[in-house]
Amino acid sequence: MGRLNVELSGITLDNPIIPASGTFGFGYEFAELYDINCLGTFSFKGTTKDKRFGNPTPRIAECESGIINSVGLQNPGVEKVISEELPRMRECFNKPVMANVSGFSIDEYVYTCQMLDSEEQIGWFEVNISCPNVHGGGMSFGTSPEAAAQVTEAVKKVTTKPVFIKLTPNVTDIVSIAKACEGAGADGISLINTMLGMRIDLNRKKPVVANKMGGFSGPAIKPIALRMVYQVYEAVNIPIIGMGGVSTAEDVIEFMLAGATAVQVGAANLVNPFACRDIINNLPEVMDRYRINLLSEIIGGAHNG
């Protein structure tokens, strides 16, 4: 294995850098700018059972140290993703890809994962449990250990690929939820998703985002994300994909020391479309500076001693 290689549920990545779902589309727009095969992999646009237009506009609000978005899972639906998006993706990306799946009921998660499971290019599922459970009073699946476990168990029954459960940070105890997912058969954990935030337009004296609130991401949430990755690493024995405010090679190493096997880059892609490529190119120099030989050897290193 090379200096940057890591193994994620039996699949070797050339490096741990993964563009986060919702910030990289289905890859082909970025492939017009650079060869995206330099990536470890990427998590494609959140996919649901049915086509979704998403939330009303405006959906984006800039912040001092991040960005708020309330896109609302706009996507063409799983059948169109399979028939149109995946073939186009294969033309520009020749590695296993991560399928990000969302749903508003357990049946929707099951249907979408079952449809995607036979697609050869999909290496892993990333199941986003930050969506409201429309049959459970509107609470997010990810806010309850019991609900998180139910989604995990149901998806595992219909899939043959590794399943990573993506957790919301908008909870009191993220560790109990991660442990419940592991107990229900999850192969890994992705964290964190966005925090809940808002901006108010002083001229209009109304919220900037039409949906009033949205997911807050960017550099400001990095300390929270690191803390949660660190805590979850101590509680589970399955790999972690860490994310939250990552924009440099130094950030990647910090997340890996906290316990992440791989690291996703989200909001940084919206600021600089070359962010992931630049991080990968900078990693060897930063590793040399901190006397790191192999990235795979530092996973969880901050827990030693």
Q: What is the pLDDT of residues 154-191, one digit of tens each?
A: 999 999 999 999 999 999 999 999 999 999 999 999 99
For residues 54 and 185, what is the distance between their CA atoms, to the nearest angstrom?
31
For residues 220 and 118, what is the distance between their CA atoms, to the nearest angstrom?
39
If one counts the domains in the chain, the total is 1
For residues 166 and 189, what is the distance between their CA atoms, to the nearest angstrom?
6
Range of the structural domain that residue 163 is part of? 6-55+72-198+216-303
Helix (H) / strand (E) containing 125:
strand 122-128
What residues of the chain score a pLDDT lower than 50?
none
**Which entry of 38, 92, 113, 131 is annotated as an active-site residue?**
131
Domain-embedded: residue 285: yes
Residue 38 annotated as catalytic: no
CATH number at residue 25: 3.20.20.70
Before 192, cis peptide (omega within 30)? yes
233-266 confidence digits (pLDDT tens): 999 999 999 999 999 999 999 999 999 999 999 9
Before 76, cis peptide (omega within 30)? no
Question: Could you tell me the end-to-end alpha-carbon distance of the chain, in angstroms, rounded to an integer?
Answer: 27
Domain-embedded: residue 62: no
